[in-house]
Amino acid sequence: MKKIQQLLILLLFSCAYTVHAQEEKVDLEMVSKIRNEGLNNSKVMDIAFNLTDVSGPRLSGSSGLKNAQNWAQEEFAKWGLHNVQLEPWGDFGRGWEIEKSYAAMTLPYYQPLIGTPKAWTQGTNGLLKGKVVLVTIKMDSDFADYKGKLHDKIVILDNEIEIKPHFTADTKRYEDKDLEEMAAFKMPAQSNQAAPKPRVTQDFRTRVALGKLRDFCKEEGAVLIISGGTRGSDGTYFTSNGASYALDAKAVLPEFEMAAEHYQRILRLLNAGKTVELEFDTKTRFLQDDVKGYNVIAEIPGTDKKLKSELVMLGAHLDSWHAATGATDNGAGSAVVMEAMRILKALNIKPRRTIRVALWSSEEQGLLGSKGYVKAHLANKETLALLPEHEKLSAYYNLDNGTGKIRGIYTQGNTEAVPIFAKWLESFKDLDASTVTLKNTGGTDHLSFDAVGIPGFQFIQDEMDYGTRTHHTNMDTYDRLQADDLKQAATIMATFVYNTAMRNEKMPRKKTKLTTTIK
Amino acid sequence: MKKIQQLLILLLFSCAYTVHAQEEKVDLEMVSKIRNEGLNNSKVMDIAFNLTDVSGPRLSGSSGLKNAQNWAQEEFAKWGLHNVQLEPWGDFGRGWEIEKSYAAMTLPYYQPLIGTPKAWTQGTNGLLKGKVVLVTIKMDSDFADYKGKLHDKIVILDNEIEIKPHFTADTKRYEDKDLEEMAAFKMPAQSNQAAPKPRVTQDFRTRVALGKLRDFCKEEGAVLIISGGTRGSDGTYFTSNGASYALDAKAVLPEFEMAAEHYQRILRLLNAGKTVELEFDTKTRFLQDDVKGYNVIAEIPGTDKKLKSELVMLGAHLDSWHAATGATDNGAGSAVVMEAMRILKALNIKPRRTIRVALWSSEEQGLLGSKGYVKAHLANKETLALLPEHEKLSAYYNLDNGTGKIRGIYTQGNTEAVPIFAKWLESFKDLDASTVTLKNTGGTDHLSFDAVGIPGFQFIQDEMDYGTRTHHTNMDTYDRLQADDLKQAATIMATFVYNTAMRNEKMPRKKTKLTTTIK
């Protein structure tokens, strides 16, 4: 029995050894230099400051996004990066930004309201005062109840919730057990892997109803809609758009979202039969001089005769929502990939493959910037045609899960990438990054690459207060950025990119995915 | 050995028995009725709704406080309470309230700012736009640096802080060990009991410096001061006054406090040499038609021939700060004492002693309402004269530590009260209230009674998010009130008041305190 146990242990160790042995030797001296530059000479917080506090909110097409794109280009050029450019990825639509936002309750008493116009909605253009009507639509026939009753009225939607006390902390890091679970994850069998069919979700139904309701309110002569009010607390609210950014989108009513505490108070007063009067003074601006969308691109050219036409990419989306400065979504990722490039350039590395960084735009509207890039450079999903760069791109690394440090990496089911990343992460165990999981993660720009068979990866990051306080909120400000976390992330990002650029082979690709996506 | 142990245990039990046996029998049938009315037929949330959402912010002397005082009187009268009145306690000064509050950053980009005028400061009375100057005063000689530089400028004080992520929960309840510690507390020896001497605290030094700075800014022609910015996060900020409520207080500059995230952003931009321009439109109103302060008083008359001239009192302060509706400070306590009266009246109790409820005002300016009441009814601290009611008042019960349920009671060193309360709390162990501590607790209106030798008690309440989110913040709204906690508190409050009214003897008084305070 004992002998069998020993044999088993030996076998396990051999397997582990074999797996790791498959990956080439890592240049540990360079990793050490990257660590020193990234951890001790960091500029990541200064970069983040310029992208957030200095540039402002970076909604697609806004002046804030342009500020940040311009600053990033200047900075890349200052560092001596090559081919620095603002590359159009296609037509986006209208930019939009806020020029004034004031809201207050005036009856039953005065109280300024915390909130913001919803993106792409019209402003009131001057002081608007009105009584509030609570509108509840559960089925189409309910509209009749409000016919003739909304003229000159402010409409508030019936989004009642109970704001619960916070008995758990807003901010958390992954615990060992969470990471162990991720590391142990096994991909389901192929037959179970079919993409889930689109289904009519609660959210979808709500959107349809909301669209109808908006039209109805406009037809009836209402003057403003208050929506939202269900997420966030303590002055933090979650924001979104209230209309389309399309060039031909019709003008909508001013629409406002606000702190749940203020929203719910209005509902309670109305439900108790009290008269509630509000005043608004909001002004929004549509920008359509240039309706294209752009990504910022820059490079460190490859130096190996045979491999320099090949690429490794890193990226993060630079656009944000409008109620704050998008510090964790995704000033953090943008600052980290910029800082990774700065580190590599400061060390004057001579990569074999070309390293290309991208700061995407319009991720928040559906990964538009990275999808546009993929379509122009890599593969056209409609025509199923592969472009020449498709064969040349080794891998794409993305960062977009907030300010939390890197704890490992998602391989999106790429089994061959696992031992490679495991080896690379050996240098970062002391910085708490060691987990490689086969798991997929979604919601950001690596998906655009993964969809056409390019190895595209997002790192595992500590969650911090991303879900509770920062993601799409009015409180996604510079204050949420944790310097030590971002330094660590930039160091690991730079190392992964460097290792990918120096490797003899391109990163292994998932066979299955490529054949199913593009035939 | 064993015998001695048994003896000791027996002795301990006898002591415990003896202690409890000293207290009269509690009318458990009535306690059961009170529990049923308080827990199953509660109106406490409806009362709280009217005191907060419906009445508005209840700063001393404001319309909001008047709304709440009027509503409370009407309600008391509806319930059939006796001697319902608005009793003046003395001169307060000027009331103050906000009629408009708008603030935004306009350079380097547009961003509405979360904040509020500081209490008793002037408004801008129209749109005010100005560049911001960061002022750092560490010693008197620093003023010279700003001479001639503040004209038409908005001044921001150098209150830099780092906003930390919240790795602990905002809300918490007492754990068993906390309560055991309180129960085990022993009063220090008499010699150590001297009241701490007033000392120049950091806070005091800051206030002095701030006063000087305000005068300097006004002399130099600055147009507005931004102060605070160091407490709260995520849209929650703590508020206070920026000027005196005295009738003869001189006019000050408009002063504004704001969310730390917005405050700190302005500081970072200025420290980086950026131009920051802000705009404000604030209007504040001073009310001085009636400069008196008032408490709301109501009674259930006593029915025992000999004892009905004696009193038991319960109370809570009704005034609040101005940036929210003062739900936990102290709408909660006010709603609980009102509900306790409703419960007792609904049960048509026939108390031996008269029960008097008081809703104080101007607690936030130094317990002024309760001090005024004590001076008029009980004892004049200046002349050291005791008034006839001093002998008649058995005890005063106060609630002012937020929305948390009652876990026990502070006896303020009144050792004889301990076994009495321990016995009364036996009926509430299942509702988590069982701790009697000799500890003092401060900061609220029971101190006004305690100071003149009347047994004055504040209950131990679960802390909840009082210190982190609600106490003096812009987010002290109805949403923070926890219905089950307030129902429990009202039930216990009603029982304590009832038991005190029915007891053969008045509550025991602290001998030492009486002789040292009033000779």
Q: How far is B225 from chain A (nearest CA, A)?
A: 19
For the segment B356-378, the average pLDDT, to the nearest whole number, is 97
Q: How far is B77 from chain A (nearest CA, A)?
A: 22
Chain B CB contacts of A98 under 8 Å are 110, 112
B475 vs A116, A261, A269: nearest CB: A261
Confidence band of A518 (pLDDT split at 50, 70, 90): very low
Confidence band of B190 (pLDDT split at 50, 70, 90): low
Please choose, from the candidates A477, A274, A234, A288, the residue with its C-alpha nearest in 3D space to the C-alpha of residue B232: A234
Q: Do A482 and B56 touch (CB under 8 A)?
A: no
Chain B CB contacts of A237 under 8 Å are 235
Lowest mean pLDDT among A62-76, A257-271, A492-506, B135-149: B135-149
> Alpha helices, DSSP H only, in A361-482?
368-377, 389-392, 417-425, 446-450
Per residue in A154-167, pLDDT (tens digit) is: 999 999 999 999 99
B465 vs A109, A112, A166: nearest CB: A166
DSSP per-residue codes, A125-144: SS-EEEEEEEE--SSGGGGG
Per residue in A449-487, pLDDT (tens digit) is: 999 999 999 999 999 999 999 999 999 999 999 999 999
The letter for the amino acid at B175 is: E
A110 vs B98, B109, B168: nearest CB: B98
A114 vs B109, B114, B264: nearest CB: B114
A269 vs B53, B114, B259: nearest CB: B53
Per residue in A431-449, pLDDT (tens digit) is: 999 999 999 999 999 999 9
Structure confidence at residue A158 (pLDDT): 93
Measure Cα distances from B98 to A170, A263, A271, B156 in Å. Answer: 32, 20, 26, 21
Give me the residue spans of the domains in chain A.
Answer: 26-92+291-517, 95-167+196-286
Structural tokens at position B206: 């800051």
Chain B CB contacts of A109 under 8 Å are 55-57, 63-64, 67
Which DSSP helix (H) or strand (E) runs through A410?
strand A406-410
Alpha-carbon torsion B227, A52, A348, A397, what sign? positive
For the segment A200-213, the average pLDDT, to the nearest whole number, is 66
Among chain A residues, the shortest Cα distance to B473 is held by: A234
Count of A-B CB contacts under 8 Å: 154
Confidence band of A196 (pLDDT split at 50, 70, 90): very low
Structure confidence at residue B19 (pLDDT): 47
Looking at domain B26-92+291-517, which CATH architecture does it have?
A: 3-Layer(aba) Sandwich (3.40)
Beta-bridged to residue B315, according to DSSP, are B358, B398
Give dist(CA A238, CA A288) in Å, integer: 26
Q: How far is B175 from chain A (nearest CA, A)?
A: 13
Among chain B residues, the shortest Cα distance to A161 is held by: B479
Interface test with A, best of B58, B59, B109 (most A CBs within 10 A): B109
Question: Across all residues in chain A, what is the average pLDDT?
Answer: 92
B479 vs A67, A98, A264: nearest CB: A264
Interface test with B, best of A128, A477, A481, A485 (most B CBs within 10 A): A477
Give dist(CA A310, CA B377) in Å, integer: 90
Structure confidence at residue B61 (pLDDT): 97
Interface test with A, best of B477, B481, B486 (most A CBs within 10 A): B477
Asked whether the predicted pLDDT for residue B187 surpasses 90, the reply is: no
Helices and strands (DSSP H and E) totals, chain B: 14, 18
Structure confidence at residue B206 (pLDDT): 67
Q: Do B54 and A100 touch (CB under 8 A)?
A: no
Contact A74, A50 (CB under 8 A): no
Structure confidence at residue B395 (pLDDT): 98
Per residue in B384-408, pLDDT (tens digit) is: 799 999 999 999 999 999 999 999 9
For the segment B177-192, the average pLDDT, to the nearest whole number, is 84
Asked whether the predicted pLDDT for residue A270 surpasses 60, the reply is: yes
Asked whether the predicted pLDDT for residue B15 surpasses 90, the reply is: no
Chain B CB contacts of A101 under 8 Å are 104, 110, 112
Strands B111-112 and B292-300: unpaired
Confidence band of A91 (pLDDT split at 50, 70, 90): very high
Extended strands (E) in B238-353 = 255-258, 277-287, 292-300, 311-317
Structure confidence at residue B147 (pLDDT): 97
Chain A CB contacts of B475 under 8 Å are 233-235, 261
Structure confidence at residue B512 (pLDDT): 59
For the segment B459-477, the average pLDDT, to the nearest whole number, is 97
Q: Do B469 and A234 touch (CB under 8 A)?
A: yes
Per residue in A274-318, pLDDT (tens digit) is: 999 999 999 999 999 999 999 999 999 999 999 999 999 999 999
Chain B CB contacts of A166 under 8 Å are 169-171, 465
For the segment A45-68, the average pLDDT, to the nearest whole number, is 98
Interface test with A, best of B106, B107, B111, B474 (most A CBs within 10 A): B111
Structure confidence at residue A15 (pLDDT): 41
Give dist(CA A105, CA B53) in Å, integer: 12
Q: Do B108 and A64 touch (CB under 8 A)?
A: no
Residue B494 neighbours by CB under 8 Å, 6+ apart:
B34, B37, B38, B339, B340, B341, B343, B344
Structural tokens at position A64: 């804030």
Q: The tokens 């509770």 sit on which residue?
A: A468
Give the rounded percent of residues in chain A with a pLDDT score beyond 90.
86
Confidence band of A20 (pLDDT split at 50, 70, 90): very low
Confidence band of B383 (pLDDT split at 50, 70, 90): confident
Chain A CB contacts of B168 under 8 Å are 169
Extended strands (E) in A13-113 = 82-91, 95-107, 111-112
Per residue in B487-496, pLDDT (tens digit) is: 999 999 999 9
Q: Do A261 and B114 touch (CB under 8 A)?
A: no
Quickly name the fold that domain A95-167+196-286 has: Glucose Oxidase; domain 1 (3.50.30)
Asked whether the predicted pLDDT for residue A199 surpasses 50, the reply is: no
B95-167+196-286 has the same fold as B26-92+291-517: no
Residues in chain B: 519
Write b or e for each residue in B396-417: b if 16 or more Cβ atoms lie within 10 A of its Cβ, otherwise e.
Answer: bbbbbbbbbbbbbbbbbbbeeb
Chain B CB contacts of A71 under 8 Å are none
CA torsion, points B497, B498, B502, B505, in degrees to nearest 10? -20
Confidence band of A268 (pLDDT split at 50, 70, 90): very high
Q: How far is B477 from chain A (nearest CA, A)?
A: 7
Residue B305 neighbours by CB under 8 Å, 6+ apart:
none
Asked whether the predicted pLDDT for residue B201 surpasses 80, the reply is: no
Q: How far is A219 from chain B (nearest CA, A)?
A: 30
Interface test with B, best of A46, A172, A234, A321 (most B CBs within 10 A): A234
